[in-house]
């Protein structure tokens, strides 16, 4: 509502483009009536520009926080996977040394979710991916979006740093 009110007030401000509020169908009918259809561009083929490398933004702090969260979650997954592997190997070696038969396999191997925090990692990745929506990283969202996004990044950093510490401890305690 605030944005629409602002647009109405800026309708006839000197130096700004003149705004007209109308439906898309009315816009295209107007183009046809004015005979401007031949000025519309038609693109055939892929819209991907091969030389495009990255996205410029007006929200550098958002892109920076996004990248830090990506790296953090990657590092947690890497270390948690190593910790889980070491735990599996330790369990396997203990079974080989202690057991004469392999019936121990029937019980299966259950590891604590502390070793590989799958559910929490999934939650944090989903939160991060939500914040990679196409209007967020280039900076074309409204202010309220960036307030929310920065809160999400803080949540990911806080929870992620705890998981990272746990993963480091699990790997180095062996």
pLDDT digits (tens, 9 = 90+) for 23-38: 999 999 999 999 998 8
Tokens of 8: 């109405």
C-alpha–C-alpha distance, residues 41 and 30, integer Å: 17
Kindly report the backbone phi and psi dihedral angles of residue 35, in degrees, each rounded to the nearest multiple of 5, phi listed first: 70, 30
Average pLDDT, stretch 95-110? 45
Question: Taking 80 as the threshold, does the pLDDT of residue 78 lie above it?
Answer: yes
Per-residue model confidence (pLDDT) at position 9: 83
C-alpha–C-alpha distance, residues 67 and 78, integer Å: 17
35-49, 67-81, 88-102, 153-167, range with the lowest pLDDT? 88-102
| CA separation, residue 90 to residues 25, 86, 97, 108 (Å) | 67, 6, 11, 14
Residue 17 confidence class, pLDDT cut points 50, 70, 90? confident
Average pLDDT, stretch 129-143? 89
Per-residue model confidence (pLDDT) at position 99: 47
Percent of the chain's residues with pLDDT above 90? 41
Question: Taking 50 as the threshold, does the pLDDT of residue 111 lie above it?
Answer: no
C-alpha–C-alpha distance, residues 24 and 30, integer Å: 10
Per-residue model confidence (pLDDT) at position 101: 43
Model pTM above 0.85: no
Tokens of 104: 């121990």
Question: Taking 80 as the threshold, does the pLDDT of residue 73 lie above it?
Answer: yes
Tokens of 81: 């996977």
**Over the chain, what HEC string results?**
CHHHHHHHHCCCCCCCCCCCCCCHHHHHHHHHHCCCHHHCCCCCCCCCCCCCCCCCCCCHHHHHHHHHHHHHHHHHHHHHHHHHHHHHHHHHHHHHHHCCCCHHHHHCCCCCCCCCCHHHHHHHHHHHHHCCCCCCCCCCCCHHHHHHHHHHHHHHHHHHHHHHHHHHHHHHCC
Among candidate residues 128, 126, 138, 124, the one with its CA nearest the CA of residue 66: 128
């Amino acid at each position: 509502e605030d944005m629409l009110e602002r647009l109405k007030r800026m309708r006839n401000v000197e130096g700004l483009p003149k705004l007209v509020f109308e439906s898309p169908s009315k816009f295209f009918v107007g183009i046809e009536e004015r005979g401007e259809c031949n000025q519309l561009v038609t693109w055939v083929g892929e819209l991907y520009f091969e030389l495009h490398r990255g996205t410029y933004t007006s929200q550098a702090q958002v892109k920076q926080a996004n990248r830090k969260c990506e790296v953090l979650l990657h590092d947690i997954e890497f270390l948690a996977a190593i910790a889980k592997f070491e735990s599996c190997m330790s369990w396997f070696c203990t079974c080989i040394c202690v057991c004469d038969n392999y019936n121990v396999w029937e019980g299966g191997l259950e590891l604590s979710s502390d070793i590989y925090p799958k559910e929490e990692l999934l939650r944090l990745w989903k939160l991060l991916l939500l914040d990679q929506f196409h209007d967020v990283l280039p900076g074309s969202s409204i202010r309220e979006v960036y307030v929310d996004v920065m809160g999400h990044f803080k949540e990911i950093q806080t929870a992620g740093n705890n998981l990272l510490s746990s993963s480091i401890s699990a790997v180095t305690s062996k």
